[in-house]
Amino acid sequence: MPVKIEVKNLTKIFGKHPKSILDKVNQGWSKEKVLAETGHTVGIRNASFQVHEGEVFVIMGLSGSGKSTLIRCLNLLNKPTSGEIYVDGENILDYDKKQLKKFRQEKLAMVFQHFGLLSHRTVIGNVEYGLEVRKVPREERLSIARQAIANAGLAGWEDKMPNELSGGMQQRVGLARALANDPDILLMDEPFSALDPLIRRDMQYDLMELQSQLQKTIVFITHDINEAFKIGDRVAVMKDGVIEQIGTPEELLDAPESEYIENFVRDIDRSKVYQAKHVMFKTTVLVTIKQGLKTALNEMKTNGISSVFVVDSERRLQGIITIDDTVAAIKEGKTLRDILRDDFFTTDTEASLQDLIPKATDTKYPLAVIDENNKLLGLISRVSVLSALV
């Protein structure tokens, strides 16, 4: 995927004379030493990373790690002390006021932890507000706002006031407001942390579903490692203003680059992180629906297996046959179609191992991984599900 955002050697120092402290920071002074001896606070230290187009890039860390400072640099609410920020190849630090305004109105939108809704405006009034500021004609902006509200799962609530909504619904309004401007980039600063656990989980799934449709570039801030690993394509872990490691959830789990990362991921429930696509294997040991029983029997004998999946000419899954049924069918003059079984489990590539464990426990066949067109993508053995959790 092409690079949408590129950050190079970004440093942010808070205080009266931040640039005068840069040399000390570059010499390796700790955050504590800088504060004690200069009265300045190091928010970010030499951060560099890329975010690809259509990616959900999560920045996570504990309180004070610098994650919220960093995301506010991406729209220049925080002006970096040094470094470069490129969006679509342009260094936004070179923008004048007019260019920056256009960038904030059209290129990106931000969703905050605290919903920031206008209490005197209805749901649709809040959602259309950014378009109104941009002087979009009324009928056009109302049409756009209604669609954004529907995308956020709030159709029918357009005329309600914010105080009539639950916390989760208010956050959906904030998300709809951001989507109404059709930004390329969504910046989300701990958007779900103020919600109770059940609503938070629903919002996480809704965001993933929405992202599968809209394919926005999302930079998402959280302090919750389970949330980060659930929604992030890649995750950057921060500590004391420094990015400790960037990688997929699997890379962070399997190859931590420091003791800090190792301790950070130690208590992660791997069954919630690993998905079907991480443990499935592609197989050429298949039988097509047009092939005969003797061919199927030979395939099972040659490969030392007691069952084989059956597909059509386009690899769409038709069923499974067993060696016992095949031997009996040959004797009785039956066809391959006559002995097709459907008592097996299927899954998609995104299913978590947590969801697959009951299936793997209850089945005597491999799990079949299929796409939305029922095309067989791969198989998952019982042992691969259980061994991935160790």
Q: Per-residue pLDDT tens for 164-179? A: 988 888 888 988 888 8
- What are 116-122's contacts with CB under 8 Å, separation 24+? 116/174, 117/162, 117/170, 117/173, 117/174, 118/162, 119/161, 119/162, 119/163, 121/162, 122/158, 122/159, 122/160, 122/161
- Give residue-wise pLDDT tens across range 272-296: 778 888 889 988 889 999 999 999 9
What average pLDDT score do residues 127-141 get?
89
pLDDT at 269 over 80: no
Q: How large is the average pLDDT for residues 13-25? A: 93
CA distance 390 to 388: 6
Q: What is the mean pLDDT of residues 62-70?
A: 92
pLDDT tens, position by position, 110-128: 887 776 788 899 999 999 9
| Per-residue model confidence (pLDDT) at position 270 | 76
Mark out the alpha helices in the chain (DSSP H runs).
22-26, 31-38, 67-73, 97-102, 123-127, 129-133, 138-151, 167-180, 197-214, 225-231, 249-254, 259-265, 270-273, 276-279, 293-303, 323-332, 353-362, 382-387
Please tell me the predicted confidence (pLDDT) of residue 112.
Answer: 78
Average pLDDT over residues 297-311: 94
**For the domain 278-387, what is the CATH superfamily, name and number?**
CBS-domain (3.10.580.10)
pLDDT at 225 over 80: yes
Percent of the chain's residues with pLDDT above 70: 98
φ and ψ at 114, to 5 degrees? -95, 125
Backbone Cα Rg of the chain: 26
Among 179-183, 306-310, 363-367, where is mean pLDDT lowest? 179-183
Strands 287-288 and 82-87: unpaired
**Tens digit of pLDDT for each residue in 71-82?**
999 999 999 999
Work out the pLDDT band at 390, boundaries 50, 70, 90.
low
Determine the average pLDDT of the residues in 63-70: 92
pLDDT at 229 > cutoff 70 = yes
Q: What would the mean pLDDT of 152-165 be, rounded to a whole number?
A: 89
Q: What is the pLDDT of residue 36?
A: 94
Per the model's pLDDT, the better-predicted residue between 335 and 353 turns out to be 335
Q: Would the pLDDT of 92 be above 90? A: yes
- Pairwise CA distance, residues 233 & 344, whole Å: 30
DSSP one-letter code for 106? I
Name residues whose C-beta falls within 8 Å of residue 326's C-beta, 6 or more positions apart in sequence.
Answer: 293, 296, 297, 300, 339
Beta-carbon count within 10 A of 93 CB:
16
pLDDT given for residue 207 in this prediction: 86
Mean pLDDT score of the chain: 90
Q: Are 181 and 216 in contact (CB under 8 A)?
A: no
> What pLDDT was estimated at residue 254?
86
- pLDDT value at residue 389: 60
> What is the rounded distance in angstroms from the CA atom of residue 42 to the CA atom of residue 198?
36
Helix 197-214 and helix 138-151, axial crossing angle in degrees, nearest 10: 120
CA 350 to chain centre: 11
Written as six digits, the tokens of 191 are: 């958007």
Q: For residue 13, which phi and psi values (nearest 5 degrees)?
A: -120, 130
Cβ atoms of residues 316 and 344 within 8 Å: no
* pLDDT classification of 224: cutoffs 50, 70, 90: confident
* 345 pLDDT more than 90: yes
- Cβ–Cβ contacts within 10 Å for residue 166, how many? 11
**Mean pLDDT of the 23-45 span:** 93
Whole-model pTM above 0.85?
no
Average pLDDT over every residue of 224-247: 92
Placement of tokens 């007019």 in the chain: 98
The b/e string for 8-30 (b: 16+ C-beta within 10 A; e otherwise) is eebbbbebeebeebeebbeeebe
pLDDT at residue 199, rounded to an integer: 80
- CB-based contact 287:336 (threshold 8 Å): yes
Nearest CA to 9 out of 97, 112, 80, 98 is that of 80
- Note the pLDDT of residue 328: 96
Question: Are the C-beta atoms of residues 303 and 285 closer than 8 Å to each other?
Answer: yes
Residue 307 has pLDDT above 90, yes or no: yes
pLDDT category at 213 given cuts 50, 70, 90 is confident
